[in-house]
A and B are shown apart, each in its own frame.
Chain A
Amino acid sequence: MKSPKWWPIWGLTRRLTERTGYSKDLDVPSASRIFRKSLHVYPIDVGNANDLNFDIRALQAPQYNIHRFGIFFADVPRHADVLLVLGRPIEKMVPVLLETANQMPGPYSIVSIESEGENGFIGREVGVDIASLGLTNVAARITNYREPKDIIAVLLNLMGKVN
């Protein structure tokens, strides 16, 4: 490949976004009509094995191009509409999670994501069940998460954008 002088221009001319549709009707109710155009998401790690954190980075890849749907990542929970809870909360993260949920501006939704097989090992379970924490506004629980498309489908449902 020949390198042009302004190589970022070359970079901008590549077309990496996929045309695949991600929307699925999942019976996840939208928290408000105000999310139709934009949805800000804050991911919080509550003790997952780090693969979910790595997949959240992958979700920001140009293949998915989530900005075209109006989905953006916020830097603080105060600026977010959705709290993505990554993993099964371990004891020390429970008060941190509750306080983060407390800091969310209304209206907001919580989406809990656990990767496949994370629900507890044979032997003993790690962490606590998120349903036992008494969190309100839990819109969806993904317990058999496999790939970033699963998250986009839930977020599109929260925005009310289902074909």
Chain B
Amino acid sequence: MIRAVGIAGCDQDKLLLHDGKKVWSTSEASGEEWIAKQLKSVADRDKGITGQEVFGDGVFDFRYGPVTGGVMEAGAYHLYTYGERILCVNIDWSYKHRGLESSAIGLGVEDALNVAESVCGNFAFSHSLAMSRAIESALAIEVPSQLRKVRIIALELERIYNHIYAISQLASAAAQKVMTSHLQAIYEDLLRLNNDFFGSRFLRGFNGISGTAKPFNDEALIHLSRRLGSLSDRFDYLYERALESENFMDRLHDTAKLDSEKAEKIGVTGPTLRATGVREDFRLQDQDYEGLRCATSQMGDSLARMEVRAEEVFESVEIISDMSGELKELRDSGSAPATDNKSVPDGSGSGIGYCESPSGLLAYYVELQNGKISSVYAATPSIFGFKAIGESLVGNIFTDFPFAVESFGAYFADAAR
């Protein structure tokens, strides 16, 4: 039996189905042929981007991964080339497929959040947040504003360290040794800051349903804002110098270009889409993010993506500072702290949860029966990120490869689940 459920803001290729039984789509298209196409896309979803080939004089498949110094994660790129120019790209992430969606079935809601956090460690909080929003929507739980604000702080911290990581990887690829070391120092300090305030370097195990799972001291927020402010100043200083370095800028400028039309067709979101001039961000729909600037850039190349990331770092620091102030006001007015984890009702139902992860829109669809998970579907940003990498690499040369891959912020763990 195939059933369609509408998910706002996603096109037909974006959210497909689970176990070959269900289709999620906003598209009005229907019919057996359309459904067969969707089923095939889902079957391919666990494998990667396959089936594209180029033939010609001296063209061969250059396989890069899963064990190589250049690609940290277990996954393989198949680059079709005659020696220098990349003609076609297939990407295989099946080495990383762990079947985590099916692992969550039968679990209670708190355990299911742990599974969601294990999908991709560097997006752990985004996954946990999207899953918890889906569960809260399924069980019709109202989230107190205190908790919403604490969650925003954690989500923005995740965005900051991911963006700094991506920029440090770009600097490293361009052999900017001093810049790389300083960015890595900031990155390590950010991870320690996560550990000091949220009890985990990667913000794991903090989020819960209708309350935080770990106690959270909001009186310490003033120290968090202060430490973050000094890290942001250090980053600002480095970033200004980086933009003056012609060596660095030349490597990023015009590399792995993607225009807005192609980006929207692929379905990619996040900094990649915003770097093509499209002002799209799920946070714009969120009332708690009032007055979000939403940084954009026009060129659609690696440089534009780095600019968007850097702007977002500064904006996230401001958001965290604002949220800390608002939390203090709430506390002074006598609201209950976000740490009170109320008991979760054993209900049934289905719900969808979204979140703007550091690399784009992340969505979870969850079905519950008597308080246990009966079905999960995750639409992760990296699947679309890899499609964009494949599209944009064509025509570039081998040495552009790290600048393309690192600027998109797509991860095998996130795509393969």
A interface, CB within 8 angstroms of B: 1, 3, 7-8, 11-12, 14, 16, 43-58, 60-64, 74-77, 90, 92-93, 96, 100, 115, 117-118, 121-124, 126-127, 146-147
Interface contact A126-B111, CB-CB below 8 Å: no
Report the bound CA distance from A57 to B72 in whole Å.
10
B95 touches A121 (CB 8 A): no
State whether A44 touches B122 (Cβ < 8 A): no
B interface residue numbers (CB < 8 A to A): 66-70, 72-74, 94-100, 103-107, 111, 114-115, 117-122, 124, 165, 168-169, 178-179, 181-182, 184-185, 187-189, 191, 195, 201-202, 204-205, 237, 240-241, 411-414
Contact across chains for A14 and B121 when beta carbons are under 8 A apart = no
Cα distance A50–B100 in the bound complex, in angstroms = 14
Chain A residue with Cβ nearest B69: A75
Shortest A65–chain B CB gap in Å is 9
Secondary structure class of chain B's binding surface, majority of residues = helix
Q: Which residue from chain B places its CB closest to the CB of A117 in the assembled complex?
A: B114
Q: How many A-B residue pairs have CB under 8 A?
A: 138
Taking a contact as CB atoms under 8 Å apart, the answer to whether B201 and A147 are in contact is yes
User: In whole angstroms, how far apart are the Cα atoms of A110 and B99 in the complex?
Assistant: 27
Min CB gap A2→B, angstroms: 10
4 A-B pairs besides A49-B119, A117-B114, A126-B118 with CB distance below 8 A are A11-B179, A16-B181, A53-B73, A57-B184
A contact residues around B169 at 8 Å (CB) = 57
Q: Are A61 and B95 in contact (CB under 8 A)?
A: no
Known: A76-B69, A147-B201. A92 touches B184 (CB 8 A): no
Q: How far is the CB of A72 from chain B (nearest CB, A)?
A: 12
Which A residues touch B413, using CB under 8 A? Answer: 48-50
Determine the chain B residues whose CB is within 8 A of the CB of A8 once the complex forms.
178-179
In order of increasing CB-CB distance, the 6 nearest A-B pairs are A51-B121, A75-B69, A11-B178, A61-B188, A50-B413, A49-B121
Q: Tell me, rounded to whole Å, the shortest Cβ–Cβ distance linking A31 to chain B.
A: 21
CB distance from A113 to the nearest CB of B (A): 13
Q: Give Cα A47–Cα B417 distance, bound, in whole angstroms.
A: 10
Shortest Cβ distance from B70 into A: residue: A75
